[in-house]
Amino acid sequence: MRPTGKLHLGHYHGVLKNWVKLQHEFECFFFIADWHALTTQYDDPSGIEQSVWDMVIDWLAAGVNPGSSTMFIQSQVPEHAELHLLLSMITPLGWLERVPTFKDQQEKLREKDLATYGFLGYPLLQSADILVYRAGKVPVGADQVSHVEITREIARRFNHIYGREPGFEEQAEGAIVKMGKKNAKLYRNLKKRYQEEGDLEALETARALLKEQQNISLGDRERLYGYIEGGGKVILPEPQPLLTPESKMPGLDGQKMSKSYNNYIGLREEPDSVAQKVRTMQTDPQRVRRTDPGDPEKCPVWSMHKVYSDADTQEWVQSGCRSAGIGCLDCKKPLIDAIVEEQRPLHERAREYESNPDLVHSILQEGREHARDAARDTLEEVRAAMGLHYR
């Protein structure tokens, strides 16, 4: 996530709640993309450091757990930059120019000079961010799937160019033997079924079999992935997009919640401020007087009730609004209570971390070390494949 400062409820419902769930299902790497911030903020980086700090506190407050995931700052893991450089040697210019967000962002940010290599190359840096951890899945919204797709194309191109190491087949056959007689026989059978009959189930079974093997190295495992797929050694596996459920969190005006629209409630907004913002929300324009009936479907407050209120409260809103049995301030009160209640544990966790900055620094330090260990393993193979492995 780019460091944009303190987060809002749109981030919480659209991204962070999903991260909290994913950290218990996968090995997760969550990082603050400060280099990415420089692609558009290079002329004024003064706010980046504070934004990083605020965002990390928000992650921790939301329940992202350093014991269940790896949290770090992108620029503190230089392997991202090295892989970005090495991938730039093989990435066609046209691939970067056709990324949908390239022209879109240039159009939206006309006041900025974005005719820079950094801006053109940011999708490649994103690809390096993913490939350096050999990620299997990348949680993204539907509008970001194209970034995962270019990452897959770059991985495919890299493997095609560099995966045919000298003696590949001999090394793959040697790796099969290391699996033991029973597993070796099963692997060969699955390989035959996939390559001769196109049996995709056999391919998936073979991948699962290789994943379970404890007595072969990571390099051998990647070799055998490539051997069954009919290519070379899979040095950089192709990631898959993991679609994030679309955020149902509307802004105070009914549009998507966004800082740029100034229609947001902060993730750690003070209760009095939450109450003030909700009380002054616009409502159905037909309800001029308290006695005028309204239509919830035309009211931004109803959109927020759909996120926060149970069925009984929603029914109360629908009937009360349409019959003018309740006023707009009556309608807003349970919403204020629900938001304040949701935020209470977030405030408590945030205070704990804000009062102990050393703890936050140690979390990021540990995350950095873990991330670097994983990234170094990838870079070692990438360098060797590109002829940069010197004794």
Query: Per-residue pLDDT tens for 66-85?
Result: 999 999 999 999 999 999 99
Q: How confident is the model at residue 5 (pLDDT cuts 50, 70, 90)?
A: confident
pLDDT band at 234 (very low <50, low <70, confident <90, very high): confident
Q: What is the pLDDT of residue 182?
A: 94
What per-residue confidence (pLDDT) applies to 160? 82
- The secondary structure of residue 47, as a DSSP letter, is G
Question: How many residues comprise the chain?
Answer: 391
pLDDT at 294 over 80: yes
Is pLDDT at 40 greater than 90 in this prediction?
no
What is the reported pTM? 0.83
Task: Flag whether pLDDT at 31 surpasses 90.
Answer: yes
353: confidence class by pLDDT, cuts 50, 70, 90? very high
* CA 335/CA 102 separation, integer angstroms: 39
In the predicted structure, residue 147 carries a pLDDT above the cut 80: yes
Please give the Cα distance from 386 to 279 (Å, whole number).
61
With vertex at residue 169, the alpha carbon angle to CA 374 and CA 216, rounded to the nearest 5 degrees, is: 40
pLDDT, position 262: 94
Q: Is the pLDDT of residue 257 over 90?
A: yes
State the Cα angle at 66 between 63 and 71, rounded to 5°: 100
Per-residue exposure over 51-79, b if at least 16 CB sit within 10 Å of its own CB, e if not: bbbbbbbbbbbbbbebeebbbbbbbbbeb
SS3 228: helix
Q: How confident is the model at residue 166 (pLDDT cuts 50, 70, 90)?
A: confident
User: Which of these ranges, 121-130, 200-209, 223-232, has the smallest mean pLDDT?
Assistant: 223-232
Q: Assess contact for 251 and 10: CB atoms under 8 A.
A: yes
Give the pairing type, strands 240-243 and 137-140: parallel
Please report the pLDDT score of residue 99 as a whole number.
85
pLDDT over 90 (residue 306): yes
Q: Rounded mean pLDDT of the chain?
A: 92
Write down the pLDDT at residue 198: 77
Tens-digit pLDDT profile for residues 99-146: 877 777 777 777 788 889 999 999 999 999 999 999 999 999 888 898
- What pLDDT score does 78 carry? 98
**Helices then strands, each counted (H, E), the chain:** 19, 4
Is 26 in a helix, a strand, or coil? coil
pLDDT at 377: 95
Cα–Cα distance for residue pair 347/271, rounded to 1 Å: 10
